[in-house]
Every structure is written in C-alpha cells, then in structure tokens.
Amino acid sequence: MHKHSIAELAAGLRGKKFSSRELTQHFLKRIDAHDGALNSYVTITAERALKQADAADAELAAGNAGLLTGIPIGQKDIFCTQGVRTACGSKMLDTFIAPYDATIVEKLDAAGMVMLGKLNMDEFAMGSSNETSFYGPVCNPWDKTRVPGGSSGGSVACVAAGLAPVATATDTGGSIRQPAALTNLTGIKPTYGRVSRYGMIAFASSLDQAGVVARSAEDAAHVLQAMSGFDAKDSTSVERPVDDLVTGLNTSIRGLTIGLPKEYFADGMSAGVRERIEQAIATLTKLGANFKEISLPNSPLSVPTYYVVAPAEASSNLARFDGVRYGHRAEGAKSLEELYKRSRGEGFGAEVQRRIMIGTYVLSHGYYDAYYLQAQKVRRLIYDDFKRAFADGIDLVLSPTATDVAFKFGHNSDDPVAMYLNDIYTIAANLAGIPAMSLPCGFVDGLPTGFQLMGNFFAEARMLNVAHQYQQATDFHTKWPTEYAS
C-alpha cells in the first residue's frame, strides 16, 4: 500500500479494498520496522492516528468523505499539535506540550487526514543536513551514511522510505526543496502568505513558509490545496480565494517560456548534476516548452543577504525562550540573569546559538544600518530581478536545486559557511516571497538529484502543471531506495 499515490489510496478506500484503519496500521508497522535506523520520527501518535482512522472510516461509510479522508500524513515537529509534544528539534522545547493546533494541522484534520506522528528536523529549522536536531541526525534512505538535507530531513526521509504517503514541511531558505532533491521527492514551497503560519514555531518570520513533500506533483497538489487559504489568526496570511491546484495538472505546457538564469548555471554545480539538469531541459523542450536565458544579477548576493536577515529575525523570535514562561529551565540558578544565561545556554544547540549571536550583532547599535538595513535593500533588488523577468514574458524560472548529491555525515560540520552554501540556489525565492519547488530529475552515482522551478506570486498551479507533465514523461519520481521498496 505504501507505493500507491494519494489518488490510488483514496480509490482503494472508496472501493473498500482496505479501510483507513488498515492503511494506518500498515504505515505504523513500517515505522516500527524501519524508523529505528532512519530516525525520521520523534513522536509516534499511534493511538490518535487510529482514532482518526476510525472517524475517517465512518465518514467513508456515510458517503461524506473527501479525497484526503483517511490518508495518513506525517507532521513536521515545528507545527503545534494539541496535547502532543512539539519540540522543534530542540532541548529547549523537549517538554513542551502544545495547547492548541496550528492552522494547517486543523485544516488537514478537517480534510480527514490521519496524523501518524511528528517528524524530526534541524533545531528550530536551522540547518541544511538535519544534523543539528536534539534528537539526533536523520539518515538518508538512499544511503544511511549520508544526510537527507534539512531542515525538513525527517519529512523527506519518512516519505522516501514509505513511512508516510506525504508529509508537511517548512522552508525558510530551501528547507523543503533541498532535502527533496537529495531524497528523490517532490517538494513545494508556496507563495509567502498562501499557507497560514499560525501555530508554526517561528525561525525567521518574513521568510518561513509551510509546504509539502510528496512522491509526485499530483500528490503535493492535493495536500497543498487543503492546507491553503486565508487565516485571520495570521497577520501575514493573504486574503484571496484558494486556487484549484489539481484540475490543470494535465494541461499541455506547449508554448510556456521558461527562463534559465545564467547566474545559476555558472561554476559551483557538480558535473553530474549539470548533466541531469540539461536532460530535464531537453525533456521539457520535447513537451513544448520554450527556454530563454535570463539574468538575475543580484542572485549571487542571496546567501550573504539571507544570513543577515534570517539570524536577525531568529534573534528576535527566540528571545521568548528564557526559562521563565515555558521551555527548558535551568535548575539551581541564583539570580534571574543566571537563569536566563543557563537556560538558553543549556536549551539551545551550537548552531542556534551561533545564529542568535549573528542576529543580535547585526541588530545592535552601530551595526543595524551597516548590515541589516543594507541586507533589506539588497533583498528588494533580488525581488526586482524576478519581477522584471516575469514582466518580460517569463512564465517560470528553472535552476538546479542543490550543487551536488547528498553528502556524508560530518562533511561540513566544522565549516558553517560551507554548510550555508548548500542553499545557494534556493534562498532567493524566500527573499522574494515567490513560490518554488523541486522535483526529481535523475541520479548521480546512484544518488538522487533534482531541479527547481520558481514562479511569480501565486503561480503554484502553473508550476505543478509543468512538474506533473514532466513526471508523466519521466519515471525518476517512481524510483525507490532498494531497502524500502517492499
């Protein structure tokens, strides 16, 4: 059952080939059998899942079910889930039991989906390898000596290994797309504001966005549509109707113009990844798409801009974790100042502390204008580059997702700058607020890689259409890591 698409699972449920309880039990058994070696889940909510499955079966029997009714899902452990630990990969929140559900949890519950558990992640979503989690690293199902990417490493590992049909994820600078590329999955970060951030623990509020990782564009479209929509509880939520992301999947892409930014195809990409990207371009050309070289001249400034803006916002957001209100509290502190210092020193890991320090520095008196304000100006220039490209007749932009395939554990652990450069192709979309997705395009030395599509604001339907047409013409997304295929 774990090899079926969401549409196939929905048909099986409606045709009474299996029940939602049986489907849920199937995935719970796979988690029990395989996740000990992968570490993709930090909390398994079996009792809750079976109750939701029974409720879904009742809806199915009554004829009130939607497409997603009874379909299991994994939730990234950054989304608050009432009565369930929400730790965000950190010791700071190891004992935190959320008193309410995040909006996307509410929406997916309302759609009838079944939550299998909470998924491992880099601490407070800060990382590109899922090595910073308090709960230990997540392994890549394609090679357990390699990272799955991050910060949504648990999300991609569980879907790639068939421990859930689909999973939620978040993307601040590439944390959906980069791990999707490294594990042969489809991952989409929607336009900033399309999906509510209420109940999603904040890293960098102007960049964070929730999305989906799935085996195909079609699966991603179904779940993203259920997650989307205006939320009055989120001040950054955009008040507009939810687009139909599914109906247009089978539309021909003939005549679309796709931009190839010359800055993304310069030095830095491995030869193997470049070859796979060129093959993907050739396939899309056969499907009728036109390609045009474009320039996004400020995109090389994305990484330094991001690593000023994101840590600054993280410094502000994480100030609330002080050992007083909730979260980890150091024992035996003799003063309030000592309580603050020890609680934060014990509760936060090294990477989170590093980013808090950077953020505090760039926001401090005498440096705000020199660093933070300048970074915001460059951010606007990066957005303007995309705006000009789309105004000039470009429908979508295509680029690599990652410079290379998944690297070995510890490869970049002692070099934070090298780790940060893993997001060199993905960060610009977050800075501009535009939607972007990664989809599989082949293998290099047996390891998966992917390419990225970026669109204008609220162009998710067009991106998913191109991705679906590409996946109808290729079979890379159907490949499984051998150990988890059966």
Q: Which residues are catalytic?
A: 76, 151, 175
CB 77 within 8 A of CB 86: yes
**Tally of residues, the chain:** 486
- What does the alpha-carbon distance between residue 394 and residue 259 come to, in Å, rounded to a whole number? 6
Which single residue is written with the structure tokens 């759609």?
111
DSSP H or E segment with residue 226: helix 217-227
Verify cis geometry, omega within 30 degrees of 0, for the bond prior to 151: yes
Largest Cα–Cα distance of the chain, in whole Å?
70
For residue 470, count CB atoms less than 10 angstroms from its CB and return exposed for 0-12, middle for 13-18, buried for 19 or more.
buried
Q: How do strand 436-444 and strand 396-400 relate by DSSP bridges?
A: unpaired
The sheet with strand 209-214 has its strands ordered as 41-44, 114-119, 72-76, 166-171, 209-214, 186-189, 436-444, 447-455, 396-400, 257-261, 290-294
For residue 266, count CB atoms less than 10 angstroms from its CB and return exposed for 0-12, middle for 13-18, buried for 19 or more.
exposed
* DSSP-assigned letters across all residues of 9-63: HHHHHHTTSS-HHHHHHHHHHHHHHHHHHH--EEEE-HHHHHHHHHHHHHHHHHT
Q: CA 417 → CA 75, 133, 306, 413, distances in Å?
A: 29, 19, 12, 10
CB 90 within 8 A of CB 202: no
HEC sequence for 350-417: HHHHHHHHHHHHHHCCCCHHHHHHHHHHHHHHHHHHHHHHHHCCCCEEEEECCCCCCCECCCCCCCHH
For residue 392, count CB atoms less than 10 angstroms from its CB and return exposed for 0-12, middle for 13-18, buried for 19 or more.
exposed
Which single residue is written with the structure tokens 């295509």?
398
List of residues 6+ apart from 302 with CB closer than 8 A: 382, 424, 427, 428, 431
- What does the alpha-carbon distance between residue 239 and residue 91 come to, in Å, rounded to a whole number? 36
For residue 139, count CB atoms less than 10 angstroms from its CB and return exposed for 0-12, middle for 13-18, buried for 19 or more.
buried
Q: How many CA atoms lie within 13 A of 122 on its CB side?
A: 29
